[in-house]
Structure 1
Amino acid sequence: MYLVAIAWGYVALMMAAAEALSPQGTLFGAFVTLMLYGVLPLGLLMYILGTPGRKRRRQADELAAQRDAGGHPAPRSAEGLAAEREEA
């Protein structure tokens, strides 16, 4: 995942450099090229590809929060189970 992002960033940087160094090019054009071809697509790509990792981390944090002091998982909801009677 990171190799593709690094390669795309390099290509976008080279495109911006070519725009800046061209006789008809401007620094503003190079900046726009870098933003529209480099930073914005890479940011979106990294966000989308990072979704499974964020989901795993969130689930691990929730599981850790549910554990009690003894290290046992917290009891799940009692849906579908009969209520326990107390004898007097």
Structure 2
Amino acid sequence: MYIVAIGWLYVALMMAITETSVVAGVATFLLYGLAPVSIVMYIMGTPGRRRRRRAQEGRDAAQAASAQAARLPDDGAAGP
């Protein structure tokens, strides 16, 4: 996936270099290169971000459950 993004940015950079003015070159690189690549990379990275978030939530829930179990007294072990 990254090789395609790098290739696309390279082509956009070459297009930007051939523009007649600096402003047109920067606009070409931003509009034909950086904006589309950033959008596609964000969309393609969504499953990984979702997977990491769910794993973190699972770890947080396990820590909360273990902390809850540690705070509960034993059933009748310390009775009078």
Tell me what 2:57 maps to: 62
Q: TM-score, normalised by structure 2?
A: 0.77
Aligned mates of 1:55, 1:3 — CA distance in 2: 23
Deviations 1:33-59 (A, max 9, x none): 001001100110110000000010011
Find runs of 4+ consecutive structure 1 residues off by over 2 angstroms: none
SS at match of 2:16: helix
Q: Structure 2: which 5+ residue stretches go unaligned?
A: 68-80
RMSD value, Cα: 1.2
Structure with higher helix content: 2
Aligned sequence identity (%):
49
Q: How many residues align?
A: 65
